C-alpha cells in the first residue's frame, strides 16, 4: 500500500500534466486572427455594408441615377463631391494608390528603429523580409489589376462572365471597321479606342486596392507598435515539429529599438503610414456609398483578403514560408 506522501506527489504530477495539456489544447490556431486582427478585419466588410446601406437609404443618393456601365453617378446629378470620379482624392490618391502605399511603407522600413538603424541603408533581416512581403503583395496587386500573363485577373473575370468591349458587337454588325476586334480584352484598351466595357462582372478595383493596401500597412506597423507598448504577443505559429507555439519564441532576444520611449516608436514614419491607411479607409467608405454594386464590392474585398492571407497568415502555418517572409514585429 502506497504511503500518503507518494499518493500526494502523484496527484500533484497528474494535476500539473492536466494543466499543461489544457494550456496546449486551448492555444489559438495560427489560422485564426488575434482579437485585435479580428477587429481590424471586420472593419472592412462593416464599412462596405454600412456604406451600401447608406446609399440605399439616402434620399440624395437614390435621387441620382446610377450608371452601371460608367460605375458612377452622372457628374451633373452627383449627390456629393465624392460621388464624382473627378474629385481630387480619387484622381490623386486612389488612382495613384499603390504609389502612396509604397512610398509610405518604404519610408517606414528605412527610418523606423524596429527594422534597423534609422536613416541608414543597412540591409537587416527585418528589412529584407519586410521588402519580400511588399514584393508579394505588390505582385498580387499587379496580377489582379495590371497584368496576369496577358490581361489582368479583373479583365479575365469580366470576359469569363460574359463581358466585352461594346465595339465588338458594332464591328460584327458592320458598323465599325476594325481588325481583330477581340484584341480589346482589357477595360483600358477598350476605353482607349472609344468603347465601353460592359456586360460582365467587374471586380471592384478600388475596393481591392484600398483594402489590400491599407491592411498591408496596418499589419506591418501596428504589430510593431503593439509589441513596443508591452502587449502580449497573441499570434501563434506552427513549428517544424508540428507544435503550435506563440510567435514570441521566434522574436530576437534583443530588439534593435529596445529602450526607446513611446515617442520613438510612434515616429513620423508610423504616423505617415497610419495617415495613408486611414485615408484609404475613408475613400473605401466613399466607394461603398457612391460606386459599384454590392457584388462588385464583395468580390473586390474577397480578392484583397486572399492576398492578405498569403502574406500574413501563410507564414504562421508554414515554417519554410516564415523563414522567407518573416512576420511583422518578429
Closest CA to 53 of 283, 297, 246, 281: 297
Note if 206 is an active site residue. yes
Torsion angles phi and psi, residue 154, rounded to 5: -60, -45
Residues with Cβ within 8 Å of residue 20, at least 6 apart in sequence: none
Determine the Cα–Cα distance for residues 216 and 280; give it in Å rounded to an integer.
11
Contact call for residues 201 and 299 (beta carbons, < 8 A)? yes
Determine the Cα–Cα distance for residues 29 and 218; give it in Å rounded to an integer.
21
Copy the grid coordinates of residue 82. Answer: 465624392
Contact call for residues 147 and 156 (beta carbons, < 8 A)? no
Determine the Cα–Cα distance for residues 320 and 240; give it in Å rounded to an integer.
9
Residues with Cβ within 8 Å of residue 89, at least 6 apart in sequence: 82, 279, 283, 286
Of 73, 112, 223, 292, which residue is the catalytic one? 292
Determine the Cα–Cα distance for residues 34 and 72; give it in Å rounded to an integer.
37
* Residue linked to cell 464583395: 298
76 burial (CB, 10 Å; 0-12 / 13-18 / 19+) is exposed
Determine the Cα–Cα distance for residues 197 and 329; give it in Å rounded to an integer.
43
Contact call for residues 159 and 134 (beta carbons, < 8 A)? no
Cα 31 to chain centroid, rounded? 16
215 burial (CB, 10 Å; 0-12 / 13-18 / 19+) is buried
Of 73, 112, 206, 223, which residue is the catalytic one? 206
Measured N-to-C along each axis, helices 205-228 and 268-290 cross at an angle, to the nearest 10 degrees, of: 150
Q: Which residues are catalytic?
A: 206, 292
Amino acid at each position: 500500500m502506497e504511503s500518503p506522501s507518494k499518493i500526494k506527489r502523484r496527484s500533484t504530477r497528474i494535476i500539473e500534466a492536466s494543466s499543461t495539456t489544457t494550456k496546449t489544447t486551448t492555444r489559438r490556431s495560427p489560422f485564426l486572427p488575434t482579437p485585435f486582427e479580428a477587429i481590424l478585419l471586420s472593419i472592412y466588410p462593416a464599412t462596405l455594408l454600412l456604406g451600401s446601406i447608406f446609399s440605399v437609404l439616402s434620399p440624395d443618393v437614390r435621387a441620382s441615377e446610377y450608371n452601371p456601365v460608367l460605375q458612377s453617378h452622372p457628374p451633373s446629378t452627383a449627390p456629393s463631391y465624392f460621388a464624382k470620379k473627378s474629385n481630387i482624392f480619387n484622381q490623386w490618391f486612389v488612382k495613384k494608390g499603390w504609389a502612396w502605399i509604397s512610398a509610405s511603407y518604404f519610408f517606414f522600413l528605412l527610418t523606423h528603429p524596429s527594422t534597423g538603424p534609422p536613416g541608414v541603408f543597412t540591409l537587416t533581416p527585418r528589412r529584407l523580409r519586410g521588402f519580400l512581403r511588399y514584393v508579394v503583395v505588390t505582385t498580387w496587386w499587379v496580377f489582379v489589376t495590371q497584368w496576369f500573363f496577358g490581361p489582368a485577373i479583373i479583365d479575365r473575370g469580366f470576359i469569363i462572365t460574359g463581358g466585352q468591349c461594346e465595339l465588338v458587337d458594332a464591328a460584327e454588325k458592320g458598323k465599325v471597321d476594325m481588325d481583330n476586334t477581340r484584341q480589346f480584352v482589357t477595360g483600358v484598351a477598350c476605353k482607349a479606342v472609344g468603347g465601353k466595357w460592359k456586360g460582365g462582372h467587374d471586380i471592384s478595383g478600388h475596393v481591392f486596392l484600398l483594402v489590400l493596401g491599407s491592411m498591408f500597412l496596418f499589419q506591418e506597423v501596428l504589430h510593431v507598435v503593439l509589441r513596443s507598448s508591452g502587449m502580449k504577443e497573441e499570434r501563434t505559429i506552427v513549428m517544424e515539429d508540428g507544435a503550435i507555439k506563440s510567435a514570441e519564441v521566434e522574436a530576437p532576444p534583443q530588439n534593435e529599438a529596445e529602450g526607446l520611449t513611446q515617442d520613438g516608436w510612434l515616429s513620423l514614419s508610423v504616423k505617415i503610414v497610419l495617415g495613408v491607411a486611414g485615408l484609404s479607409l475613408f475613400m473605401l467608405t466613399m466607394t461603398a456609398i457612391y460606386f459599384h454594386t454590392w457584388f462588385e464590392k464583395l468580390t473586390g474585398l474577397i480578392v484583397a483578403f486572399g492576398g492578405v492571407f498569403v502574406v500574413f497568415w501563410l507564414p504562421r502555418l508554414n515554417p519554410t514560408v516564415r523563414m522567407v517572409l518573416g512576420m511583422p514585429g518578429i
